[in-house]
Structures are given as structure tokens and as C-alpha cells.
A = this chain, B = another copy of it.
């Protein structure tokens, strides 16, 4: 799929990935690719700036470590980030419902199963 249509939901995805445990940037990219079965193959130029955004916002915290002579910046979800993720989840569901009303065939009324 075209990953560029993530607009506005990338942050939520990153928080969701980090919810399962701290990861460094490169591993996050691989995790997204794995869990989406290859659908989400995001370039570093997308992920790294996004992570810094999230850190500036206080949703994640990073720590440097050296593994095999390679510098790694490991990101971890903060409490604030956990709350943000909950909000993102709620926003996603509303978004999904609203757009689905127009794009899904038979889900007309407000009656989710």
C-alpha cells in the first residue's frame, strides 16, 4: 500500500509499537514491516524525524547505548505517551467510523456489532 497515506496516524503507530517494549529506530522500522506483513516499509527519513517529534512532545524518551560498536538510540514510551496512545486509539476509531460511513458498503447506521 502507499505508506504516504498514513498522514496523522504515524505517531499512533509508533506509540503502539513502542507499547510492547522499548526499541531503537531501526528495529521500529523492522517491527512495522513485520507486523504489517510488508505493507509498511517506511524509510528512515520518515521514522527518525517522527521519533524526535514524539520525544519533543514528551511521548517517548530515548537513551543511547552501544551494541557491537554501533550507536543505538533506544526509545521508550513515557506515561504521557501511554495516555497519548489511548487518545490516538480513540481518534482512530472515530476516524474509522466516520470515513467508513462513506466508504464501506453496508455500515450505514450507528450500530457496530
Contacts and interface: CB of A to CB of B under 8 A. Distances in A.
Contact of A91 (B1, B17, B100): B1
Contact of A5 (B1, B9, B36): B9
A110 B35 CA distance: 9
A101 B7 contact: no
- Most B CB within 10 A of own CB, among A88, A92, A103: A103
A100 B95 contact: no
Q: What is the count of identical protomers in the complex?
A: 2
* Interface size grouping (class) on chain A: 20 to 34
Contact of A102 (B5, B8, B13): B13
Majority secondary structure of chain A interface residues (helix, strand, loop or mixed): helix
A5 B5 contact: no
A4 interface: yes
22 contacts: A1-B91, A1-B95, A1-B98, A2-B91, A4-B8, A5-B7, A5-B8, A6-B99, A7-B7, A9-B99, A9-B103, A12-B102, A13-B102, A13-B103, A16-B103, A36-B98, A37-B110, A39-B94, A88-B103, A89-B103, A92-B103, A96-B100
